[in-house]
């Protein structure tokens, strides 16, 4: 698929003046309808939609129903399918056969001999529980984790107490840039559109802006992606934050599927205390397209919320295969749609001289000079970052380290999305390492949270 993680129209020049810029990859708000703050307005599944005519008779309080035509979804404050069943017909029980009840997949002992849980993300239409993160589970196989309540996050708190705690997933020592390539709690199947595993990229965050949506004030609207470099600091693109008040921003960590709250770990939101944009950021050319967000309080560390490593200032990544992630459009233009589950795409790093040559074949013409503050990746047909992915990270493997990654780039701009031979353009993180270090040290955060160290993977 043409995976898009900035949309490009024209490109930057190296000089102080110039027509330029590409439309950054986040310059429309088409995603806002699907990015309404989930704790306020969760999205109904297709199975829950079928219960809408019954709601007045079931005694369910309907606080608001908003039809989102562009997403064929319904936003509603109400219970889940199982909750509605139990609320209206307490004697009827669960939609499962026998004594089984709908339970979060991570709270049900695996039926197979393998310890790995496998979840088919396309199975909800054939799932009596109505959601791919729920399954029918016999009461004697339901697990309760010590000190963890899954109530309100897809689990069944009333039945989860009957069994001993399950063995924990193999833990890893703390360190930056640790990718969970097999996911956390389960591995997904039917990932036809480059979906990432749950928790695979724990540094990925979404930056939300408070806006009025369909007459509802102060709704959290998706603005850009970003990466966690410290539990209280986010790295993103400067073009995302142009003329935006910090009081309107929220950073969300631990997100994966934007249309559900049933993942094991709830997302965490933090307000922004300070915005720092690179002093040499040049809007017309998106030069030095880097910014830091200092949050009002740190995120609580979880497996799904961990910082990425930053490369040393002299790092080079030419010809390496790296990963870009984001919730942006799957293709260029009006036909493209924003993604519910975080996507990933593997992209080769293209040397700057080759990238400049390729970009000169576009509307940028032969006089275009690629600024030193950029690196390039991609150029394979149908594989690229796109609109909605601005500010998101491009990560490359740390040499001789298993599943450890440096953030090499920040999604900035490009010409179209996924065109053959035309790479996407990213802010060069290594070039800004000293600038980032300076601001971190000035605020007493230090640099250890994103400095790659030898790590041991246990289990």
Task: List the CATH number of the domain containing 258.
Answer: 2.40.10.10
Q: What's the total number of domains in the chain?
A: 1
Domain assignment present for 69: no
Instruction: Provide the pairing of β-strand 187-189 with 118-120.
Output: parallel
- Identify the domain containing residue 374 by its residue range: 1-31+95-459
- Give the mean pLDDT of 74-85: 36
Domain assignment present for 217: yes
- Which residue's entry shows tokens 């708190």? 157
Is pLDDT at 399 greater than 70 in this prediction? yes
Distances in whole angstroms, Cα of residue 167 to Cα of each of 115, 118, 263, 459: 10, 17, 18, 11
pLDDT level of residue 186 (50, 70, 90 thresholds): low
pLDDT level of residue 71 (50, 70, 90 thresholds): very low
CA-wise closest residue to 271 among 235, 234, 242: 234
DSSP assignment letter at 257: B
CA gap 141, 38 in Å, rounded: 30
pLDDT level of residue 259 (50, 70, 90 thresholds): confident
What are residue 271's phi and psi, to 5 degrees? -85, 160
- The most confident of 65-69, 134-138, 399-403, by mean pLDDT: 399-403
Domain assignment present for 216: yes
Lowest mean pLDDT among 26-35, 255-264, 276-285: 26-35
Q: What is the pLDDT of residues 321-373, one digit of tens each?
A: 999 998 865 444 444 556 678 888 899 999 999 999 999 998 888 889 999 99
Is pLDDT at 386 greater than 80 in this prediction? no
Structure tokens at 444: 């007493």
Structure tokens at 402: 């298993």
CB 20 within 8 A of CB 11: yes
Domain assignment present for 36: no
CA gap 372, 375 in Å, rounded: 8
Domain assignment present for 79: no
Write down the pLDDT at residue 105: 74
Is pLDDT at 268 greater than 90 in this prediction? yes
Is pLDDT at 56 greater than 50 in this prediction? no
pLDDT level of residue 379 (50, 70, 90 thresholds): confident
CB atoms within 10 A of CB 49: 14
pLDDT level of residue 114 (50, 70, 90 thresholds): low
- Give the mean pLDDT of 22-33: 38
Considering only residues 74 and 119, tell me which one the structure prediction assigns the higher pLDDT. Answer: 119
Write down the pLDDT at residue 295: 98
Is pLDDT at 395 greater than 90 in this prediction? yes
Which residues, at least 6 apart from 298, have a Cβ–Cβ distance to it below 8 Å? 230, 231, 232, 270
Which residues, at least 6 apart from 320, have a Cβ–Cβ distance to it below 8 Å? 348, 349, 396, 397, 408
Domain assignment present for 367: yes
Whole-structure pTM value: 0.72
Taking CA 396 as the corner, what is the angle to CA 280 and CA 258, rounded to the nearest 5 degrees?
85
Domain assignment present for 63: no
Lowest mean pLDDT among 53-57, 162-166, 257-261, 268-272: 162-166
- Give the mean pLDDT of 57-73: 32
Give me the chain's average pLDDT, please. Answer: 72
- Which residue's entry shows tokens 């640790």? 178
pLDDT level of residue 132 (50, 70, 90 thresholds): confident
Lowest mean pLDDT among 51-55, 262-266, 307-311: 51-55
- Give the mean pLDDT of 412-425: 82
Share of the chain above pLDDT 90, in %: 37
- Give the mean pLDDT of 162-178: 51
Lowest mean pLDDT among 62-66, 100-104, 308-312, 331-335: 62-66
CB 405 within 8 A of CB 25: no
Domain assignment present for 85: no
Write down the pLDDT at residue 123: 59
CB 199 within 8 A of CB 181: no
- Give the mean pLDDT of 5-18: 34
Distances in whole angstroms, Cα of residue 112 to Cα of each of 108, 117, 151, 254, 419: 12, 8, 26, 28, 43
């Amino acid at each position: 698929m043409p995976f898009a993680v900035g949309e490009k129209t024209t490109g930057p020049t190296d000089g102080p003046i110039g027509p330029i810029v590409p439309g950054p990859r986040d310059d429309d708000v088409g995603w806002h309808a699907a990015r309404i703050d989930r704790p306020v307005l969760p999205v109904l599944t297709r199975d829950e939609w079928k219960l809408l005519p019954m709601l007045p008779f079931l005694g369910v309080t309907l606080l608001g129903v908003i039809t989102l035509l562009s997403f064929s979804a319904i936003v509603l404050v109400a219970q889940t399918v199982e909750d509605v069943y139990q609320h209206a017909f307490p004697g009827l029980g669960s939609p499962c056969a026998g004594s089984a009840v709908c339970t979060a997949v991570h709270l049900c002992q695996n039926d197979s001999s393998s310890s790995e849980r496998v979840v088919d993300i396309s199975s909800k239409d054939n799932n009596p529980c109505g959601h791919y993160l729920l399954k029918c589970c016999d009461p004697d196989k339901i697990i309760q984790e010590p000190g963890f309540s899954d109530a309100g996050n897809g689990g069944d708190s009333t039945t989860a107490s009957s069994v001993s705690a399950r063995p924990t997933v193999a833990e890893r020592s703390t360190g930056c840039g640790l990718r969970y390539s097999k996911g956390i709690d389960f591995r997904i199947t039917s990932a036809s559109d480059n979906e990432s595993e749950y928790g695979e990229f724990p540094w990925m965050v979404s930056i939300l802006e408070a806006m009025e949506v369909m007459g509802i004030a102060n709704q959290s609207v998706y603005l850009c992606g970003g990466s966690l470099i410290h539990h209280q600091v986010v790295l993103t693109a400067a073009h995302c934050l142009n003329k935006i008040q910090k009081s309107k921003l929220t950073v969300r960590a631990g997100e994966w599927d934007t249309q559900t709250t049933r993942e094991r770990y709830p997302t965490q939101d933090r307000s922004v205390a300070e915005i720092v944009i690179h002093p040499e950021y040049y809007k017309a050319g998106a030069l030095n397209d880097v910014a830091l967000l200092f949050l009002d309080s740190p995120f609580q560390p979880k497996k799904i919320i961990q910082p990425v490593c930053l490369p040393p200032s002299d790092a080079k990544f030419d010809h390496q295969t790296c990963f870009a992630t984001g919730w942006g459009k799957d293709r260029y233009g009006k036909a493209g749609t924003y993604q519910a589950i975080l996507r990933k795409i593997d992209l080769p790093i293209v040397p700057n001289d080759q990238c400049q040559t390729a970009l000169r074949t576009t509307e940028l013409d032969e006089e275009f000079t690629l600024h030193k503050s950029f690196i390039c990746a991609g150029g394979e047909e149908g594989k690229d970052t796109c609109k909605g992915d601005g500010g998101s990270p491009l990560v490359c493997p740390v040499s001789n380290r298993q599943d450890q990654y440096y953030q090499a780039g920040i999604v900035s701009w490009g010409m179209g999305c996924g065109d053959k031979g035309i790479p996407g353009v990213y802010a060069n993180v290594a070039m800004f390492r000293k600038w980032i270090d300076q601001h971190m040290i000035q605020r007493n955060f230090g640099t250890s949270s994103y400095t790659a160290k030898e790590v041991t993977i246990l289990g």
